[in-house]
Chain A
Amino acid sequence: MSTHVKRLLAAEPRTVTVGAQLLADALADQAAPHLPVQWRPPADELLPALRRVAGDRRRASANALAAERMLAARAELVDVRRAADVIGLERGQFCHAGPPVDWARASGPLRGALIGAMLLEGLADDPEDAARRLATDTGLALAPCHDHGGVAPMAGVVSPSMWLFVLRDEVHDRTTWCPLNEGLGRVLRYGAYARDVLERLRWMGEALGPALAAALAAHGPVDVKGLVGQMVQMGDEGHNRNRAGTLMLLRDLLPNLAEDGARSGAEVARVARFIGGNDHFFLNLVMPAAKLQAAAAADIPGCTLVTAMARNGTDFGIQVSGTGRRWFTGPAAVPDGLYFGGYGPDDANPDIGDSAITETVGLGGFAMAGAPAIVRFVGGTVSDAIRTTREMYEITVAENPAYALPVLDFRGVPTGIDVTAVIRTGILPQINTGIAGRVPGTGQVGAGLVRPPKSCFADALEALAEAAPAV
């Protein structure tokens, strides 16, 4: 006999009610433990798909397996190398953030970043030349970072000479990557390509990358998952605030940097100053760690969990485990947030970057409760932040004990966004993000909050329904 039913009869039932208030009241009148769901009907046009997916017998175990893999995934920084060596990127090939996009539809910041990368790689003489070639030269190729198994923030443009962090998940035998973070203000990832931007990138290629590679080799792999677990208990949410993570990384690698006889004290100091002076340096490690978690859950038939959320400045795209690499896209929204002096919403580009991979695994906007220091920056109070995180538990299937939030009694961050829960509740994932300037070359103009278009999830649900056997 089933132990579940036996247990049901052995003790007073604890009942979830959904539907008629009257029947919940009847339980209240019996002093019986119960909890009503605040239910509202899903959109009727999505109901057939929802019913079909709900009836997919593979779904429960597929989602459980995906969640298990997401939580079990590890992330160790094992190497720092050039993109050409890591993913075989060749001259004239560029990666970019988000779902696929071509030059014609590319937004200002992405165009700016591509122009900068052309100049960096010596493929154009000046910005105008670069733009012309990008528009016409069929020898140039664009592909999403996700297609190459990696992630990159904002415009996310990666060219062969750029250095990448290489991360490993030994549990699932998977490797991913993310470029090194350039710092704040006018930088390539926000579409800036002025001389100082390119000079900084050259220095990163000549000095920073090799220095980090050497220090890492001496130190041995860095447990990024462990650092992320600590940073979320130190006020970082891993997307818009990475201060504690950055300093912990520096703490771990600085002794090895200093001991490296190949570099002068001044060179080591510059590296340390560069990392320590950029609160977002560690974002580019949180993102690939998140990518490893999400990738571990990918490609499970019947699974309705989101495995990527990414934007290219024009489109917002999601990928879902049960539908493989297919992108479900909709128009990217302009984030709602605060602007740096002199800028305003008119200067803002629509949402951009692969960094929403952090929200995909419960960090960033999902972990807002743990980052009270930035809640005003992204418009809100501490209680708003706590409410945001609590709301995200409504659309996720798991809680990650490795990333525990002290303010919620060490509850794990909400992990594993279920497409069906998004459609049923109408709650869209909350993303914390930086805001890029609309005009190529501007750089960052602010930071704020954004949600994906609902259509991405509706389309994903329809595709999951097509793939599900009929009830």
Chain B
Amino acid sequence: MSARHVSVRTGTYRDSIRLMQISRTVSDLPGVSSALVAMATELNVDQAIQLGYAVPPGAGGNDLLVGVTVDEAGVLAAVLDRLDAELARASSPAATTDGDPDTPPRTVASAARRLGATLALVSTPGRYAFVEAMDALDAGLSVLVFSDNVPLAEEVRLKQVAGERGLLVMGPDCGTAVVAGVGLGFANVVRPGPVGVVAASGTGAQQVMSLLSGAGVGISHCLGVGGRDLSATVGGASTLTALRALDEDPATELILLVGKAPEPTVAERVRTETATMRTPVLPAPVGPGQPDLTAGVENALRALGRAAPDPWPRWLPERPSSSAGGALRGLFSGGSLCLEALAIAEPALGPVRSNIAVDPKLMLDPDASPAGHAMLDLGDDRLTLGRPHPMIDIAPRLDRLAAEAADPACGVILLDVVLGHGAHPDPAAELAPAIGAGIARRPDLAVVCSLVGTAEDPQDVDRQARALCAAGAAVFASNAEAARHAVRLAAA
């Protein structure tokens, strides 16, 4: 049974060449015996009538006339859908406009339209980040807020809005993420694999991914949620979204939850969520009284039936340090790595001062020279305001390194070196000479490095390790093992 469709659409002007193209496309569809898509000029209306279409009266040259005849009534809906798609295409924003150097995009929304984007990466100074991130959400994008110093109320609002719209907010202060193999922020090069990571800690996630990578296990996605996500105020909003997303992701077989332990109410919510999930979730928490990140990774490897390297890769100097005792001084670029080292050092060494200490009595003034054991997180919000992150700019750490080496009370210096996209292109080139100079002046000084990176990172992890080691540092792929080594030296 053949069927006919005729309609007049007002306010839909298209030029005649485009309409002829559309007519042709529609006519060529199987099952279509004739199609006429034209402005309803007298001539076209006459032609339509001659073709047997009952054109409604009142159509004028500024209206669009559509006539379609199909062999089989059943295909008409599909044909008209295609016609609508073609008409819409005739006026859709050109996808190619990103190739216009004269007028670069000036807002996230504009860039999103041009690129057909799915994600925004916001790294403006913190006070501007909210406006840009909201623009991304308004454009229908999930967003990674790399910026720190974003007010808590703005974080809460971003996550509320994202929740309402089914989008994900990573951050604020989200240092790393891997989405479908693409690294964002400070990102190590990892292969696709079965482990999904949800991380409230950037360097914690980098440590976990680097260790997994070293053990030959790949990553499906790593979704950062920001250091405050698991606080009672934010309520784990992004953590829950990320967990659900990874549970639905066919490539993810196991989920690692990396970061400080959540506040109790949030922990309960996370537990409730994970209880209903099909994908197993393992914690890799950081902080006092918690097992370390390396232990979390070893747990995950066991769950996957893989053996953990024992020990994890390490590069020890030919001439071991002659140090015995002295104060342990940590100089970290990664907050979670600093926290992990603190958690390992305190039970063995007693109180350790730090600018990220939980106990206010142990709070370290970063501007004063410390007495006793101390660990400084140089990536802390308060120290990065208006300056580059210490993973990018090594100079502040070189200054600290020289100061600690000059302090006779200091016996052991513990450093982290984090590789990957976005990080300093060759940190060892700057750190190794400084370490070498320190040890040359103070043969009793021990320097211990944790080195977070993968074989495919642009800095070449092995070359970095050898350079640091040659300068006299003991280098460990596991930050926890590095911290234990340093503690042993300090306690000796």
The residues of A with any CB-CB pair to B shorter than 8 Å are 1-20, 22-24, 26-27, 29-30, 32-39, 41-42, 47, 50-51, 54-55, 57, 59-60, 63, 74, 220, 223, 225-227, 229-230, 233, 383, 387, 390-391, 393-394, 397, 399, 401-402, 404, 406, 408-412, 420-421, 424-425, 427, 471
Evaluate contact between B108 and A16: CB separation under 8 angstroms.
Answer: yes
Given A54-B130, A425-B106, A471-B154, is A9 in contact with B179 using a C-beta cutoff of 8 Å? yes
Q: Is B303 on the interface with A (CB-CB < 8 A)?
A: no
Evaluate contact between A3 and B105: CB separation under 8 angstroms.
Answer: no
- The CA-CA distance from A223 to B12 in the complex, in Å, is 11
Chain B contacts with A in 1-30, Cβ cutoff 8 A: 10-15, 18
- The CA-CA distance from A220 to B60 in the complex, in Å, is 11
The 8 A-B residue pairs with the shortest CB-CB distance, nearest first, are A226-B62, A2-B166, A19-B123, A401-B91, A229-B13, A26-B421, A390-B103, A19-B124
- The CA-CA distance from A19 to B111 in the complex, in Å, is 13
Say how far A256's CB is from chain B's closest CB, in angstroms.
13
Residues of A within 8 Å of B132, CB to CB, are: 18-19, 37, 39
Given A34-B115, A37-B107, A42-B128, is A5 in contact with B123 using a C-beta cutoff of 8 Å? no
Q: Is B244 on the interface with A (CB-CB < 8 A)?
A: yes
- The residue from B91, B165, B179 contacting A8, defined by CB atoms under 8 A apart: B179
Say how far A113's CB is from chain B's closest CB, in angstroms.
33
- The CA-CA distance from A406 to B90 in the complex, in Å, is 10
Evaluate contact between B62 and A230: CB separation under 8 angstroms.
Answer: yes
Evaluate contact between B182 and A13: CB separation under 8 angstroms.
Answer: yes
Evaluate contact between A30 and B134: CB separation under 8 angstroms.
Answer: no
Say how far B96's CB is from chain A's closest CB, in angstroms.
8
Residues of B within 8 Å of A223, CB to CB, are: 10-11, 60, 62-63
11 A–B pairs (Cβ distance < 8 Å), ordered by A: A3-B166, A4-B165, A13-B118, A18-B120, A19-B121, A20-B146, A23-B185, A37-B110, A47-B128, A390-B102, A421-B107
Q: Is B52 on the interface with A (CB-CB < 8 A)?
A: no
Given A22-B422, A26-B422, is A35 in contact with B180 using a C-beta cutoff of 8 Å? no
- The CA-CA distance from A229 to B127 in the complex, in Å, is 43
Evaluate contact between B91 and A412: CB separation under 8 angstroms.
Answer: yes
Evaluate contact between B123 and A23: CB separation under 8 angstroms.
Answer: yes
- The residue from B92, B106, B117, B246 contacting A38, defined by CB atoms under 8 A apart: B106
- The CA-CA distance from A9 to B198 in the complex, in Å, is 13
Say how far B114's CB is from chain A's closest CB, in angstroms.
6
Residues of B within 8 Å of A9, CB to CB, are: 179-180, 220-221, 245-246, 249
- The CA-CA distance from A3 to B119 in the complex, in Å, is 14
Q: Is B392 on the interface with A (CB-CB < 8 A)?
A: yes
Residues of A within 8 Å of B91, CB to CB, are: 399, 401-402, 404, 410-412
Given A13-B119, A16-B117, A51-B131, is A4 in contact with B166 using a C-beta cutoff of 8 Å? yes
Contacts A18-B120, A233-B13 supplied; 7 other A-B pairs, CB < 8 Å: A5-B142, A5-B241, A9-B221, A32-B182, A35-B114, A63-B138, A409-B96
Nearest to A401 among chain B residues (CB) is B91
- The residue from B58, B63, B134, B136 contacting A16, defined by CB atoms under 8 A apart: B136
Nearest to A229 among chain B residues (CB) is B13
Evaluate contact between A399 and B166: CB separation under 8 angstroms.
Answer: no
Evaluate contact between B179 and A18: CB separation under 8 angstroms.
Answer: no
- The CA-CA distance from A186 to B104 in the complex, in Å, is 43
Most chain B CB within a 10 A radius of its CB, from A23, A55, A225, A408: A23
- The CA-CA distance from A1 to B244 in the complex, in Å, is 7
Say how far B125's CB is from chain A's closest CB, in angstroms.
7
Evaluate contact between B62 and A18: CB separation under 8 angstroms.
Answer: no
- The CA-CA distance from A168 to B103 in the complex, in Å, is 37
Residues of A within 8 Å of B119, CB to CB, are: 8, 13-16
Chain B contacts with A in 237-255, Cβ cutoff 8 A: 241-242, 244-249
Evaluate contact between B122 and A19: CB separation under 8 angstroms.
Answer: yes
Q: Is B100 on the interface with A (CB-CB < 8 A)?
A: yes
- The residue from A7, A23, A33, A60 contacting B146, defined by CB atoms under 8 A apart: A23
CB < 8 Å A-B pair total: 262
Chain B contacts with A in 384-401, Cβ cutoff 8 A: 392
Given A38-B104, A226-B11, is A17 in contact with B123 using a C-beta cutoff of 8 Å? yes
Evaluate contact between B106 and A404: CB separation under 8 angstroms.
Answer: no
Nearest to A76 among chain B residues (CB) is B10
Residues of B within 8 Å of A420, CB to CB, are: 131
Nearest to A72 among chain B residues (CB) is B11
Chain B contacts with A in 136-195, Cβ cutoff 8 A: 136-138, 140-142, 146-147, 153-154, 157, 160-161, 164-168, 179-185, 187, 189
- The CA-CA distance from A38 to B124 in the complex, in Å, is 12
Nearest to A34 among chain B residues (CB) is B115
- The CA-CA distance from A27 to B181 in the complex, in Å, is 11
- The CA-CA distance from A60 to B136 in the complex, in Å, is 11
Q: Is B86 on the interface with A (CB-CB < 8 A)?
A: no
**Overall SS of chain B's interface:** mixed
Say how far B222's CB is from chain A's closest CB, in angstroms.
11
- The CA-CA distance from A399 to B112 in the complex, in Å, is 14
Given A8-B119, A23-B123, A471-B154, is A74 in contact with B106 using a C-beta cutoff of 8 Å? no
Evaluate contact between A12 and B180: CB separation under 8 angstroms.
Answer: yes
Residues of B within 8 Å of A2, CB to CB, are: 166-168, 241, 244-245
Evaluate contact between B116 and A14: CB separation under 8 angstroms.
Answer: yes
- The CA-CA distance from A60 to B58 in the complex, in Å, is 39
Residues of B within 8 Å of A409, CB to CB, are: 94, 96
Evaluate contact between B179 and A6: CB separation under 8 angstroms.
Answer: no
Q: Is B93 on the interface with A (CB-CB < 8 A)?
A: yes
Q: Is B135 on the interface with A (CB-CB < 8 A)?
A: yes
Residues of A within 8 Å of B71, CB to CB, are: none
Q: Is B98 on the interface with A (CB-CB < 8 A)?
A: yes
Evaluate contact between B244 and A37: CB separation under 8 angstroms.
Answer: no
- The CA-CA distance from A30 to B93 in the complex, in Å, is 28
Nearest to B179 among chain A residues (CB) is A13
Residues of B within 8 Å of A29, CB to CB, are: 421, 458
Given A8-B142, A18-B124, A390-B102, is A54 in contact with B131 using a C-beta cutoff of 8 Å? yes
Given A16-B121, A26-B183, A33-B115, is A227 in contact with B130 using a C-beta cutoff of 8 Å? no
- The residue from B106, B130, B146, B157 contacting A37, defined by CB atoms under 8 A apart: B106
Evaluate contact between B63 and A226: CB separation under 8 angstroms.
Answer: yes
Say how far A229's CB is from chain B's closest CB, in angstroms.
4
Say how far A470's CB is from chain B's closest CB, in angstroms.
8
Residues of A within 8 Å of B11, CB to CB, are: 74, 223, 225-226, 229, 402
- The CA-CA distance from A50 to B122 in the complex, in Å, is 17
Evaluate contact between B94 and A408: CB separation under 8 angstroms.
Answer: yes
Residues of B within 8 Å of A42, CB to CB, are: 128, 131
- The CA-CA distance from A421 to B110 in the complex, in Å, is 10
Nearest to B104 among chain A residues (CB) is A38
- The CA-CA distance from A229 to B164 in the complex, in Å, is 37
Given A2-B167, A36-B111, is A16 in contact with B106 using a C-beta cutoff of 8 Å? no
- The residue from A54, A220, A401 contacting B134, defined by CB atoms under 8 A apart: A54
Evaluate contact between B124 and A17: CB separation under 8 angstroms.
Answer: no
Evaluate contact between A16 and B120: CB separation under 8 angstroms.
Answer: yes
Say how far B159's CB is from chain A's closest CB, in angstroms.
12
Residues of A within 8 Å of B134, CB to CB, are: 54-55
Given A13-B119, A18-B120, is A402 in contact with B12 using a C-beta cutoff of 8 Å? yes
Say how far A34's CB is from chain B's closest CB, in angstroms.
7
Say how far A429's CB is from chain B's closest CB, in angstroms.
14
**Contact indicator per residue, chain B 54-65, by CB within 8 Å of chain A (1) or not (0):** 000010101100
- The residue from A4, A12, A38 contacting B167, defined by CB atoms under 8 A apart: A4
Evaluate contact between A23 and B118: CB separation under 8 angstroms.
Answer: no
Say how far B66's CB is from chain A's closest CB, in angstroms.
15
Say how far B60's CB is from chain A's closest CB, in angstroms.
7
Evaluate contact between A55 and B130: CB separation under 8 angstroms.
Answer: yes
Residues of A within 8 Å of B185, CB to CB, are: 23, 26
Evaluate contact between A5 and B106: CB separation under 8 angstroms.
Answer: no
Residues of A within 8 Å of B127, CB to CB, are: 47, 51
Given A30-B182, A394-B110, is A19 in contact with B130 using a C-beta cutoff of 8 Å? no
